Amino acid sequence: MPRFLRMSIIVFLVFCCLFFLTFFGLVQQGRSDIQRELSAGQALAGLLFQLADDNPQRLALLEEAQVRHLVIKVQHSLTFQDFDGHDEIPAWFYRMIWSENLFQNAITVSLPDGQRMWLVANPFDEVEEVWESVVLVFVLFVVAFSIAILAAYYGRRIGVKPFQQLLSSLYVQPEKPFQFSASLNAYDVPEARQLAACFSQMSDALELEQKSNQRLTEELMALQEKERAYLARELHDDLGQYVTGIRAQSYLISQAPENAALVKQTADRIIEHCQAMQEGFLRLVRSLHPVMLEPLGLSQSLQGLVVQWQQSSGIKCRVCLPEVLPPLQKDAATHIYRLVQEALNNVARHACANRVLVTMNLTEKGLEVIVDDDGQGLQANMVQGVGLRSMYERARSMNAHLQFVSNAGQGLKIILQVPCFQEGVS
């Protein structure tokens, strides 16, 4: 059952209860008024009877008199239909409000012609007034109920309209996934206006995030192709050339086995090529994964990374590490290593720095990693690329806090605060 229908039924039942309570009160008050009017009518009938004193002229005048709340009839017998106003009141309502016999206190006068004059108190005028009050109250309750339902319906439409527009804005079209028509109108209701403003802000943030994700996806795909091109170039231009040289030199040895000097010279070249090929493999493997991290640990791996980066970039870099690292979360060492590596690569590509300082500090909450350079700092309105996003994602995966402190022209300080765990690598 719809909520509005349930609410309408509840309101209807409440109005019915109130109407019946009011109806019961009117009936009780009507009975008291009828009893009072009947007593007054009976007293008036007795007084008129005494004044008439069987005088024919006075009785004739009394027969022509029109007295409210009193029936004066000259006839052999008196029935219910002889009362004025009896046909204007429903019989069930009269029986409900007054059930006593009207003729038990009637005053009768025998006339010379054999007929009788009846003097009876008439309650129908008072009953009619009570009935008119009941009808008026019923009409007022019907009008009030109609106004309440209309007001509730209008209020519901006004209140539900923001939510309907919100749902329609959140509806995702199959042909346009992840695209929302999320602009909400301004409303007169303060709460609805606040809801529209908050939702519009959330929608704008979501739209910006979607565009950022789309851009990062494109950059990630381009980076993937770049990595594949790099691997193909390394395998072809470096390792492939060494393999080709070794094959040619081996063929040369097989063709002149009796020439000892040539065999020795060729063998030395093969050894040099194998050494160079091994170094190329190690360099390639290190670019893909820090294989020395597990056997050496995080501290020595970072020191080796700093030495290698300083040689390749030509920028002075100093590292300050504690003697013992606290226990870290699983894979936290790899994330810290990669994050420092990405920070150093960004310094080499963008910072125009002369020196870099990499430090690790033990804090009450865990480990603090700082990469500080004296370069040009972050530019205003800079768009985050894959590198910065990957740093944030690595920090999030460790439940760590990553902060960039920078002023234009005064360098950049990257602060990573990593919580410690009972189990993990150190």
Fold of 295-419: Heat Shock Protein 90 (3.30.565)
Distance from C-alpha of 69 to C-alpha of 32, rounded to nearest angstrom = 15
Digitized pLDDT (tens) for each residue of the chain, 426 residues in all: 577 788 888 889 999 999 999 989 988 888 888 788 777 777 777 777 666 666 655 656 666 656 666 677 667 666 666 666 666 778 888 778 777 766 666 676 667 666 777 777 777 778 888 888 999 999 999 999 999 999 888 888 877 776 777 677 666 555 555 555 555 666 666 766 777 777 777 777 877 877 777 777 777 777 677 777 777 777 766 777 778 788 888 877 887 777 778 778 888 888 887 888 877 777 776 666 666 676 778 888 888 888 888 888 889 999 998 888 877 776 888 889 889 988 998 888 888 888 999 999 988 888 899 999 988 887 766 666 777 888 888 888 888 999 998 877 778 999 999 987 644 433
Assessment of whether the complete model's pTM goes beyond 0.85: no
Distance from C-alpha of 68 to C-alpha of 70, rounded to nearest angstrom = 5
Task: State the alpha helices, DSSP H only, in 53-179.
Answer: 56-64, 91-97, 124-170
Token look-up 């063709």 returns 255
Burial environment of residue 302 by CB neighbours within 10 A (0 to 12, 13 to 18, 19 or more): buried
Distance from C-alpha of 375 to C-alpha of 351, rounded to nearest angstrom = 5
